[in-house]
Structure 1
Amino acid sequence: MAVSVVPYVPSTITVHLGPPDQWAENVTVSFPDYVKNVASSEIYPTWEPAAIEANVLAIISFALNRVYTEFYPSRGYDFQITSSTAYDQKFIRGHNIFENISQVVDEIFNDYIRRKGFVEPLAAKFCNGTTVTCAGLSQWGSQDLAQQGYSAMEILRYYYGNDIELVQDAPVRSPGQSYPGTPLRLGSKGDDVLVLKTMINRVSQSYPAIPKLFPVTNVFDESTEQAVKTFQQIFNLTPDGIVGKATWYKLVYLYVGTNQLSELVSMGQQFQTFSFQYPGILRQGDRGSDVRILQYMLALTAEFNESLTPIQVDGIYGNATAQAVRKYQAQAGLQVDGIVGPNTWYSLYNNYTGIERDLRNDNINFPLSQTASAQTGGKTYGTTSRQGQFPGGGLQLGNTDFKGVKLV
């Protein structure tokens, strides 16, 4: 089973009219009106259309990132974004809205940019580029590029990198919270439990005292309860093993932080979280996410067993997959029929989890850094989820890590 993670555009957004830690009024406005206000406060209506569109997309994406990551609610605040440019974007209640900016926003308010392969809207930070400079988009610089003939996406790629893409017509719905609404406890089942386990496993990379959860299923079992209790003890929450609102949002806060989802250098939220529960019999001709999980386990196992056949993960149970299953069944002493019943699935899963446990990667990507500096000689380096863990041997010139990251 696979649970898709799809960001949405909120119909409204609540803005705190000041810095987050100071008292100020909260105002709730429609999301398009919010974007129009910020754009009319940040840029000029006389700019080139491409520059206006690029800035509007950056404004939308940054705001949606704040909503998607629950940046402020996970910190205990009752708003989604502030009007302070030290933290967020300039919002001035009652500000005059420019007509041409309003028209642009009406056309693209539910479009946003993200990094390819990532779910979360890009935390598209920006500055004016004259009195203030930053790692993101330069507003005046975008106007210069537009005057040179750059399109809106070319401007955005100039500042944020070539690995961004445009998402169009994102769903619009009433704003909500990720908290399931009722506490999760021993015996709970469903997609919320799957999300909970995913967050625990990622946070445990930085806090290794928290037990990792295998398998990642949608059942709140005793091992999940123990992991929750350990998490609660570490963060001074009531260690009852029950995931109420306080525990849930502490996990959200740490998950967003460890993955840097609210930063330009985000490690990225992937499109699906997988459950390794037995899905029922799989055989040649089947298609879908369950076949992908099967193929992924087969492929990873084959990487460490030369007698097995490497396989493409495409979600299609064709001849190659059936042959790979037969080879595995023969080696494991199972009935050789190319059909994946419970015995084949759990045998394969036990092999897979042993490899996963050794690799300690928990399906976390190892993306290349998006920036380089003079101190690194202009080279880029990867980030690894194995934070603070000795790799088991010395590192030297020529060593490589996952995804081709090379020490130079």
Structure 2
Amino acid sequence: MRPNSTLIFQLYTGREGLPVPGARVIVTNPATGTSRTLTSDNSGKTPPLGVTAPDLSLSLAPDPSALPYSRYNARIEAAGYIPVTVTGIQVFAGVEAIEALELAPRPRGPEGDEDVVVIEGNALEQSVPRDPDSIPPDDRRAIQPRIQREVFIPEYITVHLGRPDNASAQNVTVPFPDYIKNVASSEIYPTWPENALRANILAQISFALNRVFTEWYRSRGYTFDITNNTAFDQYYVHGRNIFENISRLVDEIFNEYIRRKGALNPLFAQYCNGTTVTCNGLSQWGTVTLAENGYSPLNILKYYYGNDIEVVSTNNIQAITSSYPGTPLRQGSVSPSVRILERELNRIRRNYPAIPFISSVDDRFTQETTDAVIAFQKIFNLSPDGVVGSDTWNRISYIYTAVTGLAELDGEQEPLPSDPPSGILRQGSRGELVKLAQYFLRVISKYYEAVRPISIDGIFGPNTTAAVRDFQSRFGLTVDGVIGPVTWNALYDVFMGIANTSGLVVPYPGTPLKEGSRGENVWLMQDYLRTLSEVYPIPVIRADGIFGPATREAVIAFQKIAGITPDGIIGPETWRRIVAARLL
């Protein structure tokens, strides 16, 4: 049977802040037993793999004679990362499937277990009605009890992987657009007409934003925003594959939602499949019929929720500060927004080097800008047309936030300890040792979704306790929120695994590097200086692990730029500033 679809893998770490190149991906078709091996490039992507899927018509009927998608399995291995096995990757005819995985750096020490992702069937195949207690009253004047004063798009949303009352179920904190892409890929079929897809995605966004806005779970004492249990909320399968067209649509409209006219709050847009389960809301299968009959997304939504609804957007996206200028940017455009775009692309390229450098950052959209935009679009599965519409703009803003979010982790001023710290820390503790523990936890939270991010203030308060408990639960320790010897050892090992794997947090080696030095640390500094030379007036050098006169001149040039004594020696301060500059 000839391939009629494609499957790609996109591998990253640090909330998409860093790609994982050189990963080995073994893809198996369980139906035939055949396997193919792929390798990720310097953007963390594998080449498209041709795969087979059932006939398209099966996904357009509520009661197909056979499953409308194929399933594939994969094992992902990369040096320094915990291996991952994924089963049940779903592939539909004519739609590119994307398995985007965040790999976790392996803790220092003996190799541990692998991570396993099991992708179950689509929610359309389920028959679970929503629990009435999970449905807020829909006052058509839209005055619901609420806590938030304004609607915003959260940068992250915390999902409970189970029923609300299942205390043993894991919480994961994921970027909001990625959450919606996952839900849409789990709740509907990507082969549906685009207007049906848009209507369903808008309902899913509104459903989630209503939970966030009303603090439905947090006001009841829970530590999450939403569950993945379809009896209460939306179907989210952690680690599952998504689809190219759904990803593109979500990047375009993730900041849009449904509300009733004159209301503030997002509508609790209840929905069901419309066949095995019916409800007072949108019928997912019904949207297909309406779209095929020419209904627009808004008219589909009005059909189910009433004529008094509207679709609105907000640029109040927490932690993502830049907003779409309103009209697409393309070659020839002249606007201050072009300067923002070029600056963000140049920063992103330091982590994703396949993006060409834009030499002149100004208000003019040149051929260089077009080339950089196209490269970005190819990496992040957008239409590579060189035009910056809302989908490309929003994705650039999000990735820029991710890569600069990693840069803030270089805030540790003192040399890191060469061994795990000692001492008991618990709620109420204060001081420099608490700051170090918070720093470890904050770095770890960027690479492990189960650990919530915290501030570094030297005060061991409730948030730090909660993050410690997250960490202990994730790594199989006694969950007591106290940092004793066992937790200190684990924190240190996980942190050092991140440092050694990603190169993000690179501790000073303890002795200065100077002319005549050799080894891996010299090579690392040469590589960083070579990267910085693309932006700053630093001589271009070769990374060979030998500290010669050329390297010394490059170090002196950097020290002059950074305001450090230009002695050509990489001591603690010069080391720290080079690492920081490479990330900024």
TM-score (norm 1): 0.41
Higher CA-based Rg: 2
Task: Indicate the structure whose relative CO is greater, using CA pairs within 8 Å and at least 6 residues apart.
Answer: 1
TM-score (norm 2): 0.29
